[in-house]
Amino acid sequence: MRLATPEKTVTFTFDGQRIKGVPGEPVSAALLAAGIKLVARSFKYHRPRGIMSAGSEEQNALVTVGRGTAQEPNVRATTLEVSEGLEVFSQNAWPSLKHDVMAVNDLVSPFLAAGFYYKTFMWPRSFWEKLYEPIIRRAAGLGALSGESNQDTYEKAFAFCDVLVIGAGPAGLMAALTAGRAGADVVLADEDTAMGGRLLREREDVDGKPAADWVVEALAELEAMPNVRLMTRTTVTGAYDQGTYGALGRIAGGRAAGKPLECFWRIVAKRAVLCAGALERPIAFPNNDRPGVMLASGVRAYVNRWGVAPGKAVAVFGNNDDAHRTARDLAAAGVKVAAVIDSRDDAKVEGDFPLYTGAEVIATKGRHALESITIKTGNGTRVIRCDCLAVSGGWNPTVHLTCHMNGRPTWDVGIASFVPTPESIPGMVTAGACNGAFSTAACLNEGAEVAAGVVADLGLAAEIKTPSADDAAYAIQPLWAVEGKGRKWIDFQNDVHVKDVRLAAQENFRSVEHMKRYTTQGMAPDQGKSSNVVALAVLADATGRGIPETGTTTFRPPYVPVSIAVMGAGSQGKGFAPERFTTSHSASVDRGAPMIEAGLWYRPSYFPKEGESHWRQSCDREVGYVREAVGICDVSTLGKIDIQGPDAAALLDFVYTNGFSTLKVGRVRYGLMLREDGHVMDDGTTARLGETHFVMTTTTAAAGLVMRHLEYVLQAIRPDLDAQVISVTEQWAQFAVAGPKSRELLNTVLDQPITDEDWPFMACGAVSVGGVAGRLFRISFSGEHAYEVAVPSRYGESLFRQLVAQAEVMGGGPYGMEALNVLRIEKGFITHAEIHGRTTAFDIGMERMVSAKKDCIGKAAAARPGLLGESRQQLVGLKSKGVDHALSAGAHLFDKGASHSRVNSKGYVTSVCYSPTIGTHLGLGFLENGRARHGEVIVLRDHLRNITEEVEVCDPVFFDQDGGRARG
Amino acid sequence: MASLIALTPCAGLLPLTIGAITVTEVVPQALTSVAPFKGHKKAVSEALKAKVGAGLPALNRRSGAVTWFGHGVWMVAGAVSVEGAAVTDQSDAWAVVEIKGAGVEDVLARLVPVDLRASVFKKGHVAKTMLAHLSVTVVRTGADSFEITTMRSMSKTLLHDLEVAMRGVAARG
Amino acid sequence: MRIDCPNCGERDRREFYYQGDAVVLNRPSEDAGAQAWDDYLHNRANPAGETRDLWFHEGGCRAWLVVERNTMTHAVHAATLAEKVKR
């Protein structure tokens, strides 16, 4: 029921029913205004539930918003803003909220107590995943996802400040004002749609005017300060190391306005002031979960802030002075107060409504909504008709963030609750209600004082100027649970009641952490915000200990649920990983080449031609180009590192197993690089361009790794070396020109023709390509007479197209990764399929490359006895029985006659291909004592692909073993 | 003989305007990395001053044509050669863009984990940092403009990430 | 977590690559023997408390750093350029 007629409304639907809401208000306010009490079904027992609170701590009113790709489950109706056309659905009910079949769970509830699942669904074991779990999951649960891919956008963002003020109630506003006026760079974050906290919800004066008016003035002053940033709808969710805070920002308008839905902030603050306020806690009395039973603070928020009366006749039940506010506010708003029930004997009458002191609520009635309550006083019981009961069990300071770095809160007897332990989070201080200071005046004062201390730390001077405000005392007499017939709910979201906690204690789950896990108390999305202290008190009572001895469970981030979508914002789709494109990319795509990922790069797999229906046809043809004519391949993705300095050669001697100080200028040498543990890290060629100038080539996969390694060696291991390294990978577009006609082709693009005499195998130097200064290397990864020609990247696409066109004239063309792989397997050249991190120089047959004349990275470890000898699996070639006998990479190798079991495995296959040159399938692999077994026939077995083949062990170099073709 | 056509790293991709922000490609005539050898920093700085009008600026700073580019290395806008330093041609290695407009800090705050607000990060300030997953160099070039440099091969990803952030900011109006 | 890079100032952990114990700065000689190399390569104290390890500012200036921190409190005490650390 609305207390006044709103000026403007929007229409949304709840389970299809059209409902009017007022812009700015939460869905819960509009539902209450429309007289809707039943909003949800509970998690486990499908109990009818209504709206409990008016904040992010809401336990009951979880709804689903939207449908299809935009469907979002488990949204709290109390923080969901109404908007035109919004579709809201109840959840966890079938066929309807009112007639929910699974409510049968509630009837058999005596059998579903805490621990029921653990005790019941024990055997047979095979039923766990197939039968029990699906049934339990269907019966218990909250909302569901649609199964369709979410199309919304989310953001993450970074913010920096001197002082982060968390919460914009009286303490937070004063803290921000004080720090802002002192000139500090301030961020004020509050999860509500408007700042002001309880000043927007209570009827009281600040500085001689209505609190809400004072808030407007304070916000105007803050907005005018260029050094203050106000972040509404932003919940600080976690406190992390070195002053980093996570914060979930909900974006006003969101989906409907084409905006991102949420933004996850990383806020880095030199100091933080926690002004998170306090959360009211319920009292556990029989059937205290009926729709209409609410927290008193929630009732006041609906009445005072949103102008909505949650009932026609409202009763109030509390154990503290604060509860009486509710009755006063209701009366002032013209809502009937049915009764005030105060558990304390000495409570005072404060208004024109019936007061029962020393009384408790012992029963409630009403199937889908509250109809009456039964109270017990010193004079017996009495039934009071009411459709709403406002409950206040006292206040819990919102200490959560202070516990995020392993801090434990301290029990405060005076307020019967936990308060933060100082210095729990380095750089964070607490003020106001979250610190146990409950009156408005105390909050304003603490906010100002604490902020003044913080800015003084930062070298700024602040003036403490606090407005006058209500300073009422807060007297409480603990009341946790009321005895009586029926379940007394503690954790409404996970359906945990008093008996469950007592059962846990009885079954010796006496530690609070054990009780939590046994009962699931506090493990729902709300993380026990409202319920944990009550549960602790009940456990303390059941185990005969005090609450401080019982302790608390750990509050962990996030303070409110945070969607995975917003945590991973920016990493959807193309944001997942960078894409690296070569200069020849469009030219390859133009030719229909399927592009495959190689690291972050995209490289052509093969270049299909008309009439080819299988990649193998293209691949075989491209291999033929290189073996018989000339092929072109973009090799720009290989890492290129420029190394200069007086100690450049010494650096190379140290990182490579073989020597480079002896390399002549204008020559290239193959180098093998080890990790310090003696295993192969990478390999490649290094060219000496000048006495103190080298260019190292790395594999595509290890380019970043090798760059980091060289910087590590220079900065951490050998800072005595005077050399500089810098990546030039991106500077050069480099193309392999390979095959018998490669020189002839090059001479069509080079400004000065080259000869074999001037450019012998492993020569390098400067060339001019169409007037552009380039580099030429006579190196070969195919075993053919070949070159790599490099030009500055801006010319890459143009040169690639010209090389390919020229190659085609000569009976060749471009070749892709598939052909490249065949060519190198035929030659026994290794890639990271072979040097995969567990192989040594000895394993790949290159132990003679480890120079005896000098130390190098990995040399000492490579000489360890276990890394040498017959027991090692050594690189071998594997030849299949013929074209119809394809091999399989990843397969294991077995002796003939041995069973194909793990213990009998003698090695494995790393690379396979069909070789059009040799006319059979080839493989490379590692075989125990393999170099001594050339000529033997063994068995290859792939259990995954169900392939068994006999293979002949041979030298890994299948083709042109003396290397004459490359040198010629 | 070959006849080579030059393409810039962001050819065909820029300019891009969304809301109040525009991204354009910056094409330096040449870029040269200069990393002084041990004991040569002062001499290299003086040589550069004579050649390009600016010596080696302090860490995290740009001075004229010379920009600090990381541990022990500077990037000179121009083709230079100096003694006592490792000098490499980097003219084709980098995609350089300028992002400009009101609220540009809000766009970059969605991508870069460094405080780039004008009160902290002033004209001529340099940050070697990350933009989403990319390694970048960010330089403030004016009250509402920044220069961002990343590896040439990743220019499409840079523009994709900037575009998503620009849309998010522009949608807020 | 934030590390105060001597070159760049305080930066978020995402910019850094973690290597491991700074014991690697003291590389044994080639002929130091199996025990010395085993200790250098494999044996780590893994203390609960003060540690000294190598980080690389890969997403920043590309300096290798020795970072002193506490694994219990998560405090980061100091970050020094590896090339300037006495060994």
The token pair that represents A937 in the structure block: 């026939």
**Domain assignment present for B54:** yes
Per-residue pLDDT of A436-464, as tens digits, reads: 999 999 999 999 999 999 999 999 999 99
Q: How far is CA A558 from CA A190, A511, A532, in A?
A: 15, 24, 16
Q: How confident is the model at residue A713 (pLDDT cuts 50, 70, 90)?
A: very high
- The whole-number pLDDT of residue B173 equals 73
For residue B56, tell me if it sits in a domain. yes
Check pLDDT > 80 for residue A121. Answer: no
Q: Does B88 touch chain C (CB under 8 A)?
A: no
**For position A102, what pLDDT does the model report?**
74
Distance between CA atoms of A447 and A169, rounded to whole angstroms? 10
Residues forming a β-bridge with A667? A763
pLDDT recorded at residue A160: 98
Give C61's contacts in chain A (Cβ within 8 Å).
none
Q: Where are the domains of chain A?
A: 1-146, 154-278+397-457, 282-393, 485-545, 580-637+731-824, 640-727, 869-967
Whether B22 and B37 share a structural domain = no
Q: Considering just the CA atoms, what is the radius of gyration of chain B in Å?
A: 17
Least confident of A618-627, A857-866, A920-929: A857-866
Structural domain boundaries, residue B57: 31-89
| pLDDT under 50: residue ranges of chain C | none
pLDDT mean over A554-563: 92
Per-residue pLDDT of A668-696, as tens digits, reads 999 999 999 999 999 999 999 999 999 99
DSSP code of residue A840: B
pLDDT at A139 (0 to 100): 63
- CB within 8 Å: C59 and B129: yes
Contact assessment for residue B38 and residue B46, using Cβ atoms and an 8 Å cutoff: no
Residue A269 has pLDDT above 90, yes or no: yes
Q: What is the DSSP letter of A481?
A: B
CB contact under 8 Å between C82 and A426, yes or no, is: no
Does residue B159 form part of some domain?
yes
pLDDT of residue A12: 97
Instruction: Look at residue B46 and tell me if it is in a domain.
Output: yes
In the numeric block, which tokens belong to residue A672? 């093998």
The per-residue pLDDT for A117 is 63
- B122 and B155 part of one domain: yes
Give the number of beta-carbon pairs within 8 Å between A and C.
Answer: 62
Q: Mean per-residue pLDDT for A279-303?
A: 97
- Region A623-630: what's the mean pLDDT? 98
Size of interface A-B (CB pairs under 8 A): 151
Structure confidence at residue A132 as a pLDDT band (50, 70, 90) = low
**Hey, what are A704's tokens?**
């970043």
Nearest to C30 among A242, A266, A859 (CB): A859
At A417, list the tokens: 């609750």
Residue B79 lies in a domain: yes
**Scanning every residue of chain C, which has its alpha carbon at the shortest distance from the alpha carbon of A266?**
C12
Q: Residue B63 domain-assigned?
A: yes
Long-range contacts of B133-139 (CB under 8 A, 24+ apart): B133/A575, B133/A577, B133/A578, B133/B157, B134/A578, B134/B158, B134/B161, B135/C58, B135/C59, B136/B112, B137/B67, B137/B69, B137/B75, B138/B108, B138/B112, B138/B114, B139/B62, B139/B67
Q: How many Å apart are CA A791 and CA A800, to the nearest integer?
A: 10
A497 pLDDT more than 90 = yes
Which residue would you say has higher pLDDT here, A19 or A46?
A: A19
Question: B127-148 pLDDT, tens per residue?
Answer: 999 999 999 999 999 999 999 9
Is the omega angle on the peptide bond into residue A95 within 30 degrees of 0, that is, cis? yes
Q: Predicted confidence band at A598 (pLDDT cuts at 50, 70, 90)?
A: very high
CA A809, CA A709: separation in Å to the nearest integer?
43
Topology given in CATH for the domain delimited by A1-146: Ubiquitin-like (UB roll) (3.10.20)
In a domain, B118, yes or no: yes
Cα C65–chain centre separation? 6
The whole-number average pLDDT for the span A272-287 is: 97
Tell me the shortest Cα–Cα distance from B163 to chain A, in angstroms.
11
d(CA A51, CA B56): 66
A861 at interface of C, judged by CB pairs closer than 8 A: yes
| Per-residue model confidence (pLDDT) at position C44 | 94
Kindly state the tokens that stand for A542.
């059941």
Nearest-angstrom CA–CA distance, A176 and A323: 29
CA distance A97 to A767: 80
**φ, ψ at A910 (rounded to 5°):** -105, -35
Residues B52 and B67 in one domain: yes
pLDDT in the model for residue A122: 61
Which residues in chain C are contacts of B127 at CB distance < 8 A? Answer: 8
Are both B119 and B132 inside the same structural domain? yes
Percent of chain A with pLDDT over 70: 97
Last residue of a domain, one of B73, B89, B105: B89
CATH class in words for A869-967: mainly beta
* Residue A330, pLDDT score: 96
| Local confidence band at A254 (pLDDT 50, 70, 90 cut-offs) | confident
Please determine, for residue A150, whether its predicted confidence score (pLDDT) is greater than 90. no
Q: Are residues B127 and B74 in the same domain?
A: no
Judge whether B163 lies within some domain. Answer: yes
Query: Going edge to edge, which strands form the sheet with A813-814?
Result: A764-769, A772-777, A786-792, A732-738, A631-634, A813-814
CATH of the domain at B151: 3.30.1360.120
Confidence of residue A490 (pLDDT cuts 50, 70, 90): very high
Q: Is the pLDDT of residue A257 over 80?
A: no
Q: Is the separation of the CB atoms in A270 and A427 below 8 Å? A: yes
Tell the CATH superfamily of the A580-637+731-824 domain. Answer: Probable tRNA modification gtpase trme; domain 1 (3.30.1360.120)
Q: Are residues B96 and B81 in the same domain?
A: no
What band does A99 get if pLDDT is binned at 50, 70 and 90? Answer: confident
| pLDDT bucket at A124, cuts 50 / 70 / 90 | low
Segments in chain B below pLDDT 70: none
**pLDDT recorded at residue A525:** 86
Chain B residue whose CA is closest to A160: B115
Task: Tell me which residues of chain B, numbers 80 to 139, contact chain A at a CB-CB cutoff of 8 Å.
Answer: 85-94, 109-115, 117, 119-120, 132-134
One fold for A154-278+397-457 and A640-727: no
Name, in order, each residue with C-beta under 8 angstroms of A527's C-beta and a sequence gap of 6 or more.
Answer: A555, A556, A559
CATH topology for the A640-727 domain: Alpha-Beta Plaits (3.30.70)
- What pLDDT, on a 0 to 100 scale, did the predictor assign at position A133? 67
Q: Where are the beta strands (DSSP E) in A275-318?
A: 278-280, 293-295, 313-318
Read off the pLDDT band of A105 (50, 70, 90): confident
Measure CB to CB from residue A642 to each of B88, B134, B161 and give the nearest one: B88
Surface of A (227-256) touching C: CB under 8 A: 240-244
The confidence score (pLDDT) of residue A112 equals: 67
CB contact under 8 A, A405 and C74: yes
> Which chains would you list as touching A if contact means 3+ CB atom pairs under 8 Å?
B, C
Q: Given this model, what pLDDT does residue A138 score?
A: 64
What are the tens digits of pLDDT across the range A792-846?
Answer: 999 999 999 999 999 999 999 999 999 999 999 999 999 999 999 999 999 999 9
Domain A282-393: CATH class, spelled out? alpha beta
Number of domains in chain B: 2
Tell me how crowded residue A870 is: count the other CB atoms within 10 A of its CB. 10
CATH superfamily of A154-278+397-457: FAD/NAD(P)-binding domain (3.50.50.60)
Band the pLDDT of A331: cuts 50, 70, 90: very high
Tell me the pLDDT of chain A averaged across its residues: 94
CATH of C2-84, one of 3.30.420.40, 3.90.226.30, 3.30.2270.10, 1.10.357.10: 3.30.2270.10
The answer to whether B159 and B23 are in contact (CB under 8 A) is: yes
Token pair belonging to A361: 């609520």
Question: For position A441, what pLDDT does the model report?
Answer: 97
Residue A202 is which amino acid?
E
Q: Decide: C79 and C67 in contact? Cβ < 8 Å.
A: yes
- Residue A25 CA: distances (Å) to CA of A6, A72, A232, A235, A260: 11, 19, 14, 18, 21
Mean pLDDT, range A482-505, rounded to an integer: 94
Q: Are A835 and A682 in contact (CB under 8 A)?
A: yes
Pair type for strands B31-36 and B74-77:
antiparallel
